[in-house]
Amino acid sequence: MAQVEETLKRIEASKGVIGTILVNAEGIPIRTTLDNSTTVQYAELLCQLSMLARTTVRDIDPQNDLTFLRIRSKKHEIMVALENNYLLIVIQNPCE
């Protein structure tokens, strides 16, 4: 438990990381480093997107499952990890 906490703290303190959000199984953000409105927005949108991506993967092969989703945009990169119905979202500005 403490190790995971430390890991998350290290991620948050890493270079270029704008924010991290941890969303539980019901889609409610339980831990975040961003402000409330942004957090809610990110959580909602990424939940939907990851559900869609997951459906895509599983429709093709039901024994398969989605593990990570990575969206690279002009300004930053959004990385979503899915585990146990939890979503761990990290928004980073890749240093270039």
Partner 1 sequence: MSVRDTNVGARKASNVQKAPGVKSTKAANKEKDEEKTVEIGGGHIKGLIKPPDQLKLTEAELKEKITRVLNTQNPHAPDNIVRWTFKDRCFKPCVVDHTIHIFELEGNLVYKNSDEGRRLMLKQGLHEEDTGLDIGAESDKERTETSTTPVEDGGEVEEAGEEDRPDSAASKTDKKEPKITNIFNSCDRATQTLHNPPREINCQTEPPPRSSFSASANQWEIYDAYVQELQKQEKNKEKQKAAPSEKDEKSQKKMMLMETQDIDLNKVSKAAKVLERMVNLNIFDEIAQDFAYYEDPADEFKFPKGTLLPLWKVKYDQAKKLSVTALCWNNKYPDLFGVGMGSYNFCKQGSGMLLFYTYKNCSFPEYIYPTSSGVLCLDIHEERTYLVAVGFYDGSVAVYNLKTEGKEPIYKSTAKTGKHTAPVWQVCWQNDDMDSNHNFYSVSSDGRVVSWTLVKNELVFTDIIRLPVIPAETEETEPAQTPLIACGTSMDFHKQIDYLFLVGTQEGKIYKCKTYSSKILETYDAHHMRVDTVKWNHFHPKVFISCSSDWTIKMWDYTINTPVLTFDLKEPIGDIAWSPYSSTVFAAVTTDGNVHVFDLNINKYEALCQQLVVDKKKAKLTHIAFNPIHPIIIVGDDRGNVNSFKLSPNLRKKPKGKEGPEVEAAKMETLLSLLRKPE
The region of 22-30, 32-40, 41-49 touching partner 1 under the rule CB under 8 A is 22-30
CB of 37 to partner 1, least distance (A): 23
Residues 92 and 17 sit within 8 Å (Cβ to Cβ): yes
Q: Tell me the C-alpha distance between 78 and 69, whole Å.
A: 8
Residue of 38, 33, 37, 50 whose CA lies nearest to 87: 50
Q: Is 31 in the site for partner 1 (CB under 8 A)?
A: yes
Q: Is 81 in the site for partner 1 (CB under 8 A)?
A: yes
User: Which residues of the shown chain bind partner 1 in the complex (CB under 8 A)?
Assistant: 1, 3-5, 7-8, 10-11, 14-17, 22, 24, 30-31, 55, 58-59, 62-63, 68, 70, 77, 79, 81-84, 86, 88, 90, 92, 94-96
